[in-house]
Amino acid sequence: MLDATPRRMALALSLLALSLAAPACADDATPVDTTTAELAISATLDPMPPTTGQHTLTITVVDEDGAPVEGATVTVDPQMTMHGHGSSETAVVAEDGAGVYTAFPVTFQMPGMWKVSVSATAGAMSGSAAIDYQVN
C-alpha cells in the first residue's frame, strides 16, 4: 500500500505550480501575457482601462532571441468566456513594421471579464498569448 503523505505532497506541489502559472486578472493598467512556443507576444490595449466599445490592440512579436518578427500572420480573438461568446466584431490586424502589429476593432460589447487570445505564425515558428481584461 502506498503512503498517502508523499501523494498528498505531490498533489499540493502540483496545485501550487498551477496556481503560479495561471494568468492573473488584468483589471489594472498592466495586462498579463501568457506566451507559449517560439514566438513571444506582448500586447497593449488602448484605451485602458477597457470599457465597452472599440479598442486598438498593439501587438509586438519577437523571436526567442528578442528580434522583431516581420511578416507574421497574427490573429486576435476576444472571448467573454463566462458567457460563452466572442466579440460582435472581427478585429483586422495590420502590420506596422519592426515586429509591431495593430488590431482594430477589438470590441467588448458588454462589461465583465474578457480573454483576448493572440496567436502569431511566422514560417515554422508560432506563439500565442492570452490576456485577461476586466471591462467596465
Query: What is the CATH classification number for the domain harbouring 119?
Result: 2.60.40.10
Tally of structural domains, the chain: 1
| 2 part of a folded domain | no
- Domain presence at residue 16: no
0.75 cut: is pTM over it?
Answer: no
pLDDT at site 62: 96
The answer to the question of residue 12 being in a domain is: no
Residue 11 included in any domain: no
* Residues 6+ positions from 11 with CB-CB distance below 8 Å: none
For cell 497593449, the residue is 44
Q: What are phi and psi of 97, to 5 degrees?
A: 105, 160
Range of the domain at 77: 25-135
Q: Which residues contact 50 (CB under 8 A, 6 or more apart)?
A: 108, 114, 133, 134, 135, 136
* Range of weakest confidence among 19-28, 90-99, 104-113: 19-28
In-domain check, residue 15: no
pLDDT digits (tens, 9 = 90+) for 26-76: 444 445 455 556 999 999 999 999 999 999 999 999 999 999 999 999 999
